[in-house]
Chain A
């Protein structure tokens, strides 16, 4: 069986680097992006099981990533992480059918569990 594929989009390199390191240990295939444009372009050519995206980014932001994924790739789960934890953002994301919403710093163990749950659902 092919490995599950996870995409991580965050404009800070350290977040992608750390997520990649820890998720690869779980046996996932991980690709990281510093902004959403190339990430969405990559989605056109490769199916991903889970997209972990930052909420607030320059250019295309996390909500737009969420909407695009929900519209064009219904089989892909979206998990949102954000440094700017506020209730409105969380509600907005949940309305957009996000799988999970984490304020940063995110406990890696919880992120891993969330991904595991998402993969069991699909």
Chain B
């Protein structure tokens, strides 16, 4: 037996009645009330976008002026930052009004970021930090106080939430205090004036430091820290490591300074180790390096980290992304005992390759023959011993331990936004510790050519020009590599290192592959998009708005790209090494200037984007690390707030108000509330035809809904089981939209629509802002529920997800609910996408009833994408 199911309009009376009463009982939501209130919310929303855009333009300008092509001074920076601060402050104020002060944490984050930037812009010495800080008390963004190494480790502990050894940091204040106490300023002053490393003077200074006395105040604090550590861990040993101050974020100083291991919990011995570490700042090797890299000798300070040594059963290194080869994998190096064997390359080690993902998968482990290992002999000495026979060929990590470690490495990479080189240790109880995390250098070939004209001469018969002078150059430069065409942003994750990414739209999701990409070319995009800001920051040659480039360039093809001033650009077939070599010579010469690096360091708190995916949990004020993050957060949450307001507004409609019924060729039953410019005047009272819709996004959606064939008015056979299932289930009130049972509602303006519709048992909501300014535009789409059993309903979600993904949406599915979003695309493309979205809304109405198997999902999805709407 089969019953006939008529969709919205003619539901069986019983269900209708049950549903209405449920709606009345459960679906009452917070209502924003009047049309005026919604209008205010809408104005505030637009105001947030406006001030955000002004702020982004300032960030773009600062990025450009500090990019090495301009002579700039502090006056410029002060003025520009003042403007930026004003715009963001205004944006936050309006945002607070819009959200009724629901995101107060944002103020703290903004205030803190502002304090970091202001002290760099004002060049005012910051208030000195305490001489010693335990790791849990080290705030983020303090590499100038605790040094880069300590700062990163503290973030791993406090913000990524991973296990790091207990310990404390000597800040640069401790360094200053020690130098002053021993009257070493004048000695340092003398060295400061030399332009080459004067070995004798440096030797003398180091001797003074090694024999210097400790300020009693500093000794007192050290004793307190040691007592605290002793009370937690008993007798143990410390690793005392240099953590050079980072004022410019520029240089690695890898291996330049001393590290002292196995220091017992004795104040005298800790002090002795501290002296050795800070003295190494003035070794002739380290000083030569500082001179080469433009540092001011003597202004540069040393912070130091003291960490409890892990009694390691095994230890090693993780590269959170394979330095060569597949980006989707990471590698783990492991050895028995302490990690030195790996660093020194003394013995064979285990090498595991893990596929990255939500649940990392161990692909393979090559077990090394580990003949020797380094252990602590219990007296504060590390000794090399032969590995017990039974351990030599045994993997150090079980598969579970390896994937657990991989998950931590992925979290660290995600937090810092770039591939990481991570030192780890596992103690004898199997507890994992992160000992260090630093950026992993990934070699990608691109650079900045002096001029495109110079490169033009290289075009020859072997390397013909494929594209010339099209699009907008976002970041100048030259690059060569294989073309990787990503038809949707999520595919970019498979990009091989050094490839040129070619995509339809620009997307901030590309952040994740930016460390590996040699250049980016897109068909649409703008100069002030999130992606563009990041490409400039990272100096990735980037061109947007190149028509049909995803078709002109073939996946896998070798190309050379040169992008110059005034939107001059060329793409040549093949790899032209001369272009790259020329550009390599000119590249980043400014980076050798310390003052330049130091000023550019300000950008670190302005431009990078850490809040990438609004559908992820980490999209919170607490995770904002830059002004760009704050702007992104404001934008996304303003959209969410508008959606909420619109929902409140549509609830209000039921109780009357100024609404117009839409008279369409399909029985969609839509009521329209026009906030201004959404409907053309005229026509009869109460009803408006399609022709009267002036709202850009609404017209596009409705146009899609009434597209011939997309709306099925035929009855679809509903099986008994589905019918019973529909009777048994209550609507999901947590995800349900509004209480407009029987009506579908659209709130519109010329550039906006929020449409909440219910067809039978599923709810569909589209919120869209569609204007001439691409970066303001968004589509937010929700779909929930259905009348059939769960399997068919989830097949329908799968189908919708497939179709929307093909149009570039970012999707999240949570049980019965699908959320999709797409942002930052231009009006023309947006109208096309909305038209398809409208067709999908119509098409998906009764679809679940026919999705009998997974193959059907694929078939109907493919059909839909080809414009075939038969059910």
Interface residues of A (CB under 8 A from B): 10, 12-15, 17-19, 21-22, 25, 81, 83-84, 104-109, 111
Q: How far is the CA of A109 from the CA of B72 in the complex (A)?
A: 13
User: A109: which B residues are within 8 A, CB to CB?
Assistant: 69, 565
User: B715: which A residues are within 8 A, CB to CB?
Assistant: none
Q: Please determine whether B565 and A105 come into contact, CB atoms closer than 8 angstroms.
A: no
Residue in B76, B592, B593, B595 whose CB lies within 8 Å of A105: B76
Q: Please determine whether B593 and A17 come into contact, CB atoms closer than 8 angstroms.
A: yes
Interface residues of B (CB under 8 A from A): 65, 68-76, 565, 586, 589-590, 592-593, 595-596, 599
User: B70: which A residues are within 8 A, CB to CB?
Assistant: 105-108
Nearest chain B CB to A11 CB, angstrom units: 9
Nearest chain A CB to B2 CB, angstrom units: 74
Q: Please determine whether A18 and B71 come into contact, CB atoms closer than 8 angstroms.
A: yes
Q: Please determine whether B65 and A21 come into contact, CB atoms closer than 8 angstroms.
A: no
Q: Please determine whether A21 and B590 come into contact, CB atoms closer than 8 angstroms.
A: yes
Q: How far is the CA of A84 from the CA of B599 in the complex (A)?
A: 20
Q: Please determine whether B73 and A15 come into contact, CB atoms closer than 8 angstroms.
A: yes
Q: Please determine whether A14 and B599 come into contact, CB atoms closer than 8 angstroms.
A: yes
Nearest chain A CB to B768 CB, angstrom units: 39
Residue in A18, A25, A107, A108 whose CB lies within 8 Å of B593: A18
User: B65: which A residues are within 8 A, CB to CB?
Assistant: 105
Q: Please determine whether A17 and B72 come into contact, CB atoms closer than 8 angstroms.
A: no
Nearest chain A CB to B857 CB, angstrom units: 56
Q: Please determine whether A104 and B71 come into contact, CB atoms closer than 8 angstroms.
A: yes
Q: Please determine whether B71 and A106 come into contact, CB atoms closer than 8 angstroms.
A: yes
Q: List 28 A-B contacts (CB under 8 A).
A: A10-B73, A12-B73, A14-B72, A14-B595, A17-B593, A17-B596, A18-B71, A18-B590, A18-B593, A18-B596, A21-B589, A21-B590, A21-B592, A22-B589, A22-B590, A81-B71, A104-B71, A104-B72, A104-B75, A105-B71, A105-B72, A105-B73, A106-B70, A106-B71, A107-B69, A109-B69, A109-B565, A111-B71
Which of B69, B71, B73, B589: most chain A CB closer than 10 A?
B71
Residue in A13, A104, A111 whose CB lies within 8 Å of B76: A104
A-B pair number, CB within 8 angstroms:
57
User: A25: which B residues are within 8 A, CB to CB?
Assistant: 586, 589
Nearest chain B CB to A24 CB, angstrom units: 9
Q: Which 5 A-B pairs have the closest CB atoms?
A: A83-B75, A105-B72, A105-B70, A14-B595, A106-B71
Q: Please determine whether A14 and B75 come into contact, CB atoms closer than 8 angstroms.
A: no
Q: Please determine whether B596 and A14 come into contact, CB atoms closer than 8 angstroms.
A: yes
Nearest chain B CB to A120 CB, angstrom units: 19
Q: How far is the CA of A10 from the CA of B595 in the complex (A)?
A: 14
User: A15: which B residues are within 8 A, CB to CB?
Assistant: 71-73
Q: Please determine whether A83 and B593 come into contact, CB atoms closer than 8 angstroms.
A: no
Nearest chain B CB to A28 CB, angstrom units: 15
Q: Which residue of B lies closest to A52 (CB)?
A: B71
User: B590: which A residues are within 8 A, CB to CB?
Assistant: 18, 21-22
Q: Please determine whether B73 and A17 come into contact, CB atoms closer than 8 angstroms.
A: no
Q: How far is the CA of A19 from the CA of B70 in the complex (A)?
A: 9
Q: Please determine whether B73 and A104 come into contact, CB atoms closer than 8 angstroms.
A: yes
Q: How far is the CA of A10 from the CA of B243 in the complex (A)?
A: 34
Q: How far is the CA of A12 from the CA of B74 in the complex (A)?
A: 8
User: B589: which A residues are within 8 A, CB to CB?
Assistant: 21-22, 25
Which of A14, A22, A25, A111: most chain B CB closer than 10 A?
A14
Q: How far is the CA of A105 from the CA of B590 in the complex (A)?
A: 15
Which of B69, B565, B596: most chain A CB closer than 10 A?
B69
Q: How far is the CA of A10 from the CA of B72 in the complex (A)?
A: 11
Q: Which residue of B lies closest to A8 (CB)?
A: B71
Q: Which residue of B lies closest to A24 (CB)?
A: B589
Nearest chain A CB to B817 CB, angstrom units: 49
User: A17: which B residues are within 8 A, CB to CB?
Assistant: 593, 595-596
Q: Which residue of A lies closest to B595 (CB)?
A: A14
Q: Which residue of B lies closest to A17 (CB)?
A: B593
Q: Which residue of B lies closest to A83 (CB)?
A: B75
Say yes or no: A108-B565 contact (C-beta < 8 A), given A14-B595, A14-B596, A21-B590: no
Q: How far is the CA of A81 from the CA of B75 in the complex (A)?
A: 13
User: A84: which B residues are within 8 A, CB to CB?
Assistant: 75
Q: Which residue of B lies closest to A107 (CB)?
A: B70
Nearest chain B CB to A50 CB, angstrom units: 15
Q: How far is the CA of A109 from the CA of B186 in the complex (A)?
A: 42
Say yes or no: A108-B595 contact (C-beta < 8 A), given A83-B75, A83-B76, A84-B75: no
Q: Which residue of A lies closest to B77 (CB)?
A: A105
Nearest chain A CB to B67 CB, angstrom units: 10
Q: How far is the CA of A59 from the CA of B75 in the complex (A)?
A: 18
Q: How far is the CA of A10 from the CA of B76 in the complex (A)?
A: 14
User: B69: which A residues are within 8 A, CB to CB?
Assistant: 107-109
Nearest chain A CB to B650 CB, angstrom units: 50
Nearest chain A CB to B85 CB, angstrom units: 19
Nearest chain A CB to B101 CB, angstrom units: 38
Nearest chain B CB to A57 CB, angstrom units: 11
Nearest chain B CB to A118 CB, angstrom units: 17
Q: How far is the CA of A109 from the CA of B590 in the complex (A)?
A: 14
Nearest chain A CB to B596 CB, angstrom units: 6
Nearest chain B CB to A121 CB, angstrom units: 22
Q: How far is the CA of A19 from the CA of B596 in the complex (A)?
A: 11
Q: Please determine whether B71 and A108 come into contact, CB atoms closer than 8 angstroms.
A: yes
Q: Which residue of B lies closest to A84 (CB)?
A: B75
Q: Which residue of B lies closest to A109 (CB)?
A: B69
Nearest chain A CB to B599 CB, angstrom units: 6
Q: Please determine whether A13 and B72 come into contact, CB atoms closer than 8 angstroms.
A: no
Q: How far is the CA of A109 from the CA of B586 in the complex (A)?
A: 14
Q: Which residue of B lies closest to A19 (CB)?
A: B71
Q: Please determine whether B76 and A14 come into contact, CB atoms closer than 8 angstroms.
A: no
Nearest chain A CB to B78 CB, angstrom units: 9
Q: How far is the CA of A19 from the CA of B71 in the complex (A)?
A: 7
Q: Which residue of A lies closest to B565 (CB)?
A: A109
Q: How far is the CA of A17 from the CA of B586 in the complex (A)?
A: 16
Q: How far is the CA of A17 from the CA of B72 in the complex (A)?
A: 11
Q: How far is the CA of A94 from the CA of B593 in the complex (A)?
A: 32
Q: A12-B74, A104-B72 are in contact. List 20 more A-B contacts (CB 8 A).
A: A10-B73, A14-B72, A14-B73, A14-B599, A15-B71, A18-B71, A21-B590, A21-B592, A21-B593, A22-B589, A22-B590, A83-B75, A104-B73, A105-B65, A105-B71, A105-B73, A106-B70, A107-B69, A108-B70, A109-B565
User: B599: which A residues are within 8 A, CB to CB?
Assistant: 14
Nearest chain A CB to B588 CB, angstrom units: 11
Q: Which residue of B lies closest to A10 (CB)?
A: B73
Say yes or no: A13-B592 contact (C-beta < 8 A), given A105-B72, A108-B71: no
Q: How far is the CA of A13 from the CA of B296 in the complex (A)?
A: 12
Q: Which residue of A lies closest to B589 (CB)?
A: A21
User: A12: which B residues are within 8 A, CB to CB?
Assistant: 73-74
Residue in A13, A22, A104, A111 whose CB lies within 8 Å of B595: A13
User: B595: which A residues are within 8 A, CB to CB?
Assistant: 13-14, 17
Q: How far is the CA of A90 from the CA of B115 in the complex (A)?
A: 36
Nearest chain A CB to B592 CB, angstrom units: 7
Q: Which residue of B lies closest to A25 (CB)?
A: B589
User: B565: which A residues are within 8 A, CB to CB?
Assistant: 109
Q: How far is the CA of A17 from the CA of B595 in the complex (A)?
A: 8
Q: How far is the CA of A22 from the CA of B69 in the complex (A)?
A: 9
